[in-house]
Amino acid sequence: EQYGRSSHVYDGECFDFIVVGGGTAGCVLANRLTEDERTTVLVVEAGGDPPYESMFPGLFPTMAGSRVDKNYTSEKDERAQQCHRNRVANLTSGHMLGGSSGLNYMLYVRGAPPDYERWAAAAADPAWAWPQVLPYFIKSERLMDPGLLNSPYKIYHGTHGYMGVAREHRREIHKFLEAFRELGHEVLMDVNGDRHLGFTNPLFNIAEGVRQSAAYSFLAPIVHRKNLYILKDTLVTEVIFDENNNAVGVKVKTQDGAILCLVARKEVILSAGAFRSPQLLMLAGIGPREHLADLKIPVRSNLPVGLNYQDHVAVFMSIKMDKSNASSAPPNKHLFPLPAFVGYVALDKRQAYPDYQVVNFVVPHDSEVPFNLCAFGYWYDYDICHNLRNGGKGRNTLFSTLNILHPRSRGRVTLRSRNPEDPPAIHTGMFSDERDLDDLARYLEDHARIVNTTYFKSVGAMIVDLKLSMCGGMRVGSGQYWRCHARCMMNTMYHYAGTCALGSVTDSRMRVRGVRRLRVVDASVMPTLPGANTHAPVLMIAEKAADFIKEEHRLCYKK
């Protein structure tokens, strides 16, 4: 009941705004647009309420592959996931109120100013530059970490927003942070302020032991608003246009199979995520002319929809540390499953923004988390996951996931058919630009240098040999080995973006070009990936969109 009942709506019913997708961006819009009591908003979400396990940070590893994961899979290509059981990437995606924020790994990070300078250039609008986006990061945030609140970093954070943000204070990470300091990295209190390179105890969308999904933070507190309508378990199958190319509503299919047409007096806003927003556009004839012609869809607006698909490519490495036979404390579902710390590293030390991010888990010898992530989260071949487990037997380990923050490769989302219930085809394009592979190999080599620091040497630290058959005969730790390792172990960081990019598909206010009264507001509009995980940037995008919309339609403002 936290999210109320699904609204009863009738065929032909009118609303001011219809938001397609009650995911991360959709929940923010639902909240901000209904601040004006005269404005009616309908949110249509394909999934239902988030399940119990979504509430608890410690249970996140159980969510991939569950009923609230839409579990898209990538198309096969000659480079794809060569060490995965099904040779495709499992593109986990939230299918519930809150969308992917209901099952993500909860890291809260924004990126660095150059990321947003790139957006401003792509959109040809300074509204996307760092000084203009920072207030919108701050707006949604309610920082609850006393250390940061009493530090000079406080000025970079919000304390009155809907989304709780906090850190865990787990002593296990400190010796590791010191080791990275010895290697020449800074240990930063916060990477969300004015410094963006170094290792840190990360901020999470976790507060008081509860996941701060967009549904929990933005929707639950306001579901009682009389001007908000939420239609759950309902798929939007079509955006409806009038003869003048105005988006005037949507067609939906409800859980019991009823087809309804619903009218938007002001705008239709697509917040269906980087796979489904481009799909709905293309089904409406908004997309690349040749592709639409293949499916005999008349062209409404010839735009590069679905192109420019991007994701951060991730690869893990495990390092065995000290021997241990002590039993771990029982799991606590209110905590992140393992102590964690994160590094942001540039190979060129003169650069002010990172090339790669490394998320590190401190793993006690008896933890099953890495095996479970390996086998059931990432779908690597079982042999590899067994080698991961056996290679670290009797030892505590450091499990690190590196990802390339500014990939050059681009993929593409295309229609598989004209049926809106068919998932689109996702060509990830990972490593289509081979320089990404070279870079990732260099990052792995760079990270592995940690085994030469004092603490690591004192415990006889060694890279766990995953015995990758593809890389047989190569010395683990050599440059040649890391390139092979990267190719074999490539994976998604789940940061799907870029398919309806600012500047090309939309104007700088996220309005779809060539038509009217239609906007895209979600990860699809990112012209390039920020050097960060994408949840906080999506919240920022939605907060900004809400202000654009309020301004254009003269809605009542709450700053």
Ligand X SMILES: Cc1cc2nc3c(=O)[nH]c(=O)nc-3n(C[C@H](O)[C@H](O)[C@H](O)COP(=O)(O)OP(=O)(O)OC[C@H]3O[C@@H](n4cnc5c(N)ncnc54)[C@H](O)[C@@H]3O)c2cc1C
Catalytically annotated residues: 495
The answer to whether 459 is annotated as binding is: no
Q: According to the binding rule CB under 6 A, does residue 212 interact with ligand X?
A: no
Taking CB under 6 A as the rule, does residue 106 contact ligand X? yes
Distance (Å, rounded) from C-alpha 52 to C-alpha 66? 12
Q: Residue 130: left if φ>0, alpha if ψ -120 to 50, beta else—which one?
A: alpha
- Of residues 148 and 235, the one with the C-beta less far from ligand X: 235
* Residue of minimal Cβ distance to ligand X: 23
Residue 94, interface with ligand X (CB under 6 A)? yes
- Report if residue 138 touches ligand X, rule: CB under 6 A: no
Told to check if 270 binds ligand X by CB under 6 A, we report no
Q: How many CB atoms lie within 10 A of CB 262?
A: 25
Return all residues near 39 (Cβ < 8 A) that are at least 6 apart: 16, 17, 33, 227, 553, 555, 556
Among 31, 54, 81, 101, binds ligand X (CB under 6 A): 101
Question: Is residue 495 within the footprint of ligand X (CB under 6 A)?
Answer: yes
Q: Is the Cβ of residue 511 or residue 535 nearer to ligand X in the bound state?
A: 535
CA distance 506 to 244: 18
Q: 262 — phi, psi (to 5°)?
A: -120, 140
What minimum distance in Å lies between the beta carbon of 368 and ligand X?
A: 18
* CA dist list (Å): 481 to 370, 410, 465: 22, 25, 11
Token reading at 100: 């992917």
- The residue from 92, 357, 397, 403 that contacts ligand X (CB under 6 A) is 92
Short-list 56, 46, 39, 53, CA closest to 23: 46
Q: Which stretch binds ligand X (CB under 6 A): 17-25, 29-37, 259-267, 347-355?
A: 17-25
Question: How far apart (Å, rounded) are the C-alpha atoms in residues 416 and 423?
Answer: 7
Using the Cα atoms of residue 522, residue 523, residue 525 and residue 530 in order, give the sign of their dihedral. Answer: positive
Separation between Cα atoms, residue 121 and residue 503, nearest integer Å: 9
Nearer to ligand X, 105 or 218 (CB): 105
* Residue of the chain from 84, 211, 266, 276 that contacts ligand X (CB under 6 A): 276
Strand partners, 316: 401
Cβ-based nearer residue to ligand X, 19 or 451: 19
Q: What six digits make up the tokens of 203? A: 């901020």
Q: Does 103 bind ligand X (CB under 6 A)?
A: yes
Q: Please state, in angstroms and rounded to a whole number, the distance separating the CA atoms of residues 7 and 328.
A: 46
**110 part of the interface to ligand X, by CB under 6 A:** no
Min separation Cβ 453 and ligand X, Å: 27
Tokens 């009038």 locate to: 242
- Applying CB under 6 A, among 16, 36, 45, 543 the residue interacting with ligand X is 45
Does position 107 interact with ligand X (CB under 6 A)? The reply is yes
Q: Does 31 bind ligand X (CB under 6 A)?
A: no
- Which tokens is 265 given? 């007096």
Please report how close the Cβ of residue 95 comes to ligand X at its closest, in angstroms.
4
**Nearer CB in complex with ligand X: 250/384:** 250
- Does 112 contact ligand X by CB under 6 A? no
Give Cα 229 distance to the centre of its chain.
26
Least separation in angstroms between residue 345's CB and ligand X is 18
Q: Which residues are known binding-site members for FAD? A: 236
Q: What is the contact surface with ligand X in residues (CB under 6 A)?
A: 20-25, 44-47, 92-95, 99-101, 103-107, 235-236, 271-274, 276, 494-495, 522-523, 533-536, 538
Residues annotated within a binding site: 236
